[in-house]
A and B are shown apart, each in its own frame.
Chain A
Amino acid sequence: GENVEQHPSTLSVQEGDSAVIKCTYSDSASNYFPWYKQELGKRPQLIIDIRSNVGEKKDQRIAVTLNKTAKHFSLHITETQPEDSAVYFCAASIKHTDKLIFGTGTRLQVFP
C-alpha cells in the first residue's frame, strides 16, 4: 500500500540555525504534499503545502522542495525560533483524492 517515510524522528537545533525534515512517498500518483505543525495537545495545523507541478515554495522562514522523480520532499525552516518547537508531519495525497497518508512525525526542539 501507499507509504510515507519521514526522517529524522527527533531534531534538536540552536536558535537561529536551520532545520530540515525529509520525507519520501511511494505512490507516484500523489499530487499534493502538505506539512502540518502540531503543538502539544493541539490539532495539526497546515503550515505549507506544495503541489506536484511546482518544485519549490517559500513562505517567510519556511520552504518546501519537491523532487517528483525521486519521490522526495523536504521542509526547510531557517532562523529557527523557540516557538518553532513542535511535532511536524509530512503527508502525501493518495492518488488524486483528498485522502492523506502521513509520515510518523519529527519532534523539533529549538534551544535558546
Chain B
Amino acid sequence: NAGVTQTPKFQVLKTGQSMTLQCAQDMNHEYMSWYRQDPGMGLRLIHYSVGAGITDQGEVPNGYNVSRSTTEDFPLRLLSAAPSQTSVYFCASSTGSSGNTIYFGEGSWLTVV
C-alpha cells in the first residue's frame, strides 16, 4: 500500500512549456485533490474530484487542467507554464465522506523560469 504517489518530485520548466504532474493512490479513495503551497500562504485548493469522471474547481484553478478517468489517477496539467506557477504542489486523497482523514503525497517542487 503506497498511499498517494506523485511524480516528478522536482521539475524545472521554461515559460510557455506544458507539463503534467502525475498523482496516483492505491487506497480506493473517491476524493482526490490538488493543492499548491506558496510561502506565507498555506495550501490552496486548485482542483478536486469526488469520483471518476467528476472534477471541479477550487480556489486557484486558472492555468491548470485536470481529468479523472480512473479512481486511482488524478493528473494535473499546466498548459502554458508561467513564473507565477512556481510552487510546491501536493496531491491528496480521502474516502470522500466529510470528516475523513486526507492523505497527502510527498509533493512536487516546480520552478518556472
B-binding residues in A (CB < 8 A): 1, 6, 9, 31-32, 34, 42-46, 49, 51, 89, 91, 93, 96-105
Is there an interface contact between A46 and B101, defined as CB atoms closer than 8 Å? yes
Instruction: List chain B residues, Cβ under 8 A from A6.
Output: 42
Interface core residue of B42, B94, B100, B106 (most chain A CB under 10 Å) = B42
A-B residue pair count with CB separations less than 8 angstroms: 61
Interface membership of B58, Cβ < 8 A: yes
Give the CA-CA distance A46 to B92 in the complex, in Å: 12
A85 to B55, CA, bound (A): 36
Looking at the assembled complex, report how far the CB atom of B5 sits from the nearest CB atom of chain A, in whole angstroms: 12
Report whether over half of chain B's contact residues are helix, strand or loop; otherwise say mixed: loop
> In which size bucket is the chain B interface?
20 to 34
B42→A98 contact, CB < 8 A: no
Specify which of B31, B100, B106 is in contact with A43 (CB 8 Å cutoff).
B106
- Residue pair B106, A89 in contact (C-beta under 8 Å): no
B106 and A97 contact, CB distance less than 8 A = no
The answer to whether B102 and A104 have CB atoms under 8 Å apart is no
Q: Does B74 contact A (CB under 8 A)?
A: no
Contacts of B59 in A (CB 8 A): 1, 101
Q: Which 9 A-B pairs have the closest CB atoms?
A: A102-B42, A32-B99, A43-B104, A102-B43, A104-B42, A98-B31, A96-B98, A98-B94, A43-B106
Q: How far is the CB of B71 from chain A (nearest CB, A)?
A: 15
Question: Contact: B96 with A103, CB < 8 Å?
Answer: no
